[in-house]
A and B are shown apart, each in its own frame.
Chain A
């Protein structure tokens, strides 16, 4: 769907949400987080996200669950089934924090489950943690 600048392909992130405003908010938090990131890609649903994953190196995926066309859960299942992105860090950002939903994605190698609403510093902390893992020196 879209992307922005800076070359550090091992730190590229992909934001998947059907709300353009939520994508913009996460992008802004990422930009202000004082964490080294590469290009920021955006997708409005799981199908768009898959298309980006197939053509771009992505280090971390931030996905909503409830989206048209292909949900976040469906996206994570496809990623799991294909096995093509074993190092991809997967973060869910969703209003649905129910235990039932968490259990549904439990086996899909989700690293963090961030419930909306979240304070910007929560997302910053997630980015910092991911960055520390990517560069453990």
Chain B
């Protein structure tokens, strides 16, 4: 049963998008030598136009609060991140399994960095990242949108964050 106390304890994504975006920018810069920029809906749609293949990584987390982080990115960006991560541009080294692994690790690092900074002294647990192909994202903005839009290396990236009421 969900009590009113539990409802008060569940944070809102809006409270956490700032720290989450900071974590994403640090992961992008330090491990992928990539640059993050803000992106409005129009710019996102312009950059996403014509990109048919998208991947989404989802990482569940539990601790002081619980929920699901997700990041949706075009496959060409995943390929760029792959090359940057290994410091090589060898297309023959890429295959679907390794690209999915890389995108999973990307999500894992973002979520882990954010929670390390946010959870302070409290322990948290990350679930194994799940990576799958998804249709091109539908752009939604504002409080109801539930996602943040960004540019990473001038390519579109959508970040989602959902909290679930504490079940403890």
The answer to whether A and B interact is yes
How far apart sit A101 and B63, CA to CA, in the bound complex (Å)? 12
Q: How far is the CB of B127 from chain A (nearest CB, A)?
A: 9
CB neighbours (8 Å) of B82 from chain A are 21
Stretch at the interface among A55-63, A75-83, A89-97: A89-97
12 A–B pairs (Cβ distance < 8 Å), ordered by A: A19-B104, A21-B82, A21-B101, A66-B108, A95-B109, A96-B124, A97-B116, A98-B120, A116-B113, A117-B27, A118-B30, A119-B31
CB neighbours (8 Å) of A132 from chain B are none
Q: Contact size class for B?
A: 20 to 34
CB neighbours (8 Å) of B108 from chain A are 19, 66, 95, 116
Q: How far is the CB of B92 from chain A (nearest CB, A)?
A: 14
CB neighbours (8 Å) of A28 from chain B are 86-87
The contact of B119 among A20, A68, A98, A118, by CB within 8 Å, is A98
Known: A19-B101, A68-B128, A117-B113. A98 touches B86 (CB 8 A): no
A residues contacting the other copy or chain, number (CB 8 A): 25
How far apart sit A25 and B128, CA to CA, in the bound complex (Å)? 19
The contact of A101 among B87, B98, B105, B123, by CB within 8 Å, is B123
How far apart sit A49 and B113, CA to CA, in the bound complex (Å)? 25
